[in-house]
Amino acid sequence: MISNDSQLTKALANVEDHKLIRLVYVSKISRSSQLDLLLFDHIRAHAEDYNRQNNITGMLCNDHQYFLQCLEGQKQVIAPLMSRIFADKRHSKVQIILLKEIDRSMFNDWRMRSFCLDQSLWSATCLQSDSLVLKQFMPFKPLSWSSWFIEHFLETMQKFDNPNQEYDAEQASYNIIRDPKVRMINWVDSGFLHWLLFGLVIILLILLIKHGSIF
């Protein structure tokens, strides 16, 4: 895997600047960013002007731990963009898991469609609760995927790409995978809540014992 800017430069050394490439990277969400409820909205908003001006297409996925982003465009614009991502403090442990020259883009839109693949945020009424095709990617652990499975994942996500779909300011209609009614802090996942409740029970027992309410 490619994990820094110098490795990327070396990997692209024989690719001409105007050639189209597809780059997929995975990164962990940095601790300092896990409390930012609008993190993914900020990333999309900042990316879209650059994407539109430079004919970059792709999509962004996340759960409460990982980003996965596919970027498609000319080498001369994708490479500098990836350099900035390597340096972005919102990401840690950035790994490029797919890099290839392509004849045409798989995704049709410069808007960075965002897919939330965190099962803890799925509701019983949203699209993914009935989608067996998405469940094959659960749990979301893209660093363990083979090259074939990464390509399969992209082909599956491409089926959700609809360039004719309306795109409102809140992305409630365009972001078809995340349930727009769900708002959660990223770090308050099910595991955290279990430990929090366990800790509260222990504290309560200690207080009860101390005051002679038990035994």
DSSP assignments along 136-196, one per residue: TT-S--GGG--HHHHHHHHHHHHTT--TTS---TT-TTT--SS-TT----TT--HHHHHHH
| Paired tokens of 168 | 């409102």
116 in the same domain as 204: no
163 in the same domain as 203: no
From the list 104, 72, 101, 142, the residue with the least C-alpha distance to 11 is: 101
78 in the same domain as 180: yes
| Paired tokens of 143 | 């660093």
From the list 38, 57, 61, 37, the residue with the least C-alpha distance to 47 is: 57
93 in the same domain as 197: no
Q: What is the pLDDT along the chain (215 residues), one digit of tens a residue?
A: 899 999 999 999 999 999 999 999 998 877 666 656 566 666 666 677 788 888 899 888 878 788 899 999 999 999 999 999 898 887 778 999 999 999 999 987 766 666 777 766 555 555 555 566 777 888 888 989 998 999 999 998 887 765 555 444 334 333 434 433 344 333 344 455 566 777 888 888 888 887 765 55
Domain of residue 149: give its range.
5-184
CA distances (Å), origin 88, targets 30, 83, 138: 10, 9, 27
Residue 110 CA to residue 112 CA, distance in Å, equals 6
131 in the same domain as 66: yes
199 in the same domain as 94: no
From the list 188, 178, 161, the residue with the least C-alpha distance to 61 is: 178
CATH number at residue 168: 3.30.70.100
177 in the same domain as 192: no
107 in the same domain as 79: yes
Q: Contact at 8 Å (CB) between 25 and 82?
A: yes
Count of domains for the chain: 2
DSSP assignments along 33-95, one per residue: GTT-TTHHHHHHHHHHHHHHHHT-EEEEEE-SSEEEEEEEEEHHHHHHHHHHHHH-TTEEEEE
167 in the same domain as 135: yes
Question: Does pTM surpass 0.75?
Answer: no
208 in the same domain as 172: no
Sheet arrangement for strand 20-29 = 91-101, 20-29, 66-74, 57-62, 113-116
207 in the same domain as 161: no
194 in the same domain as 101: no
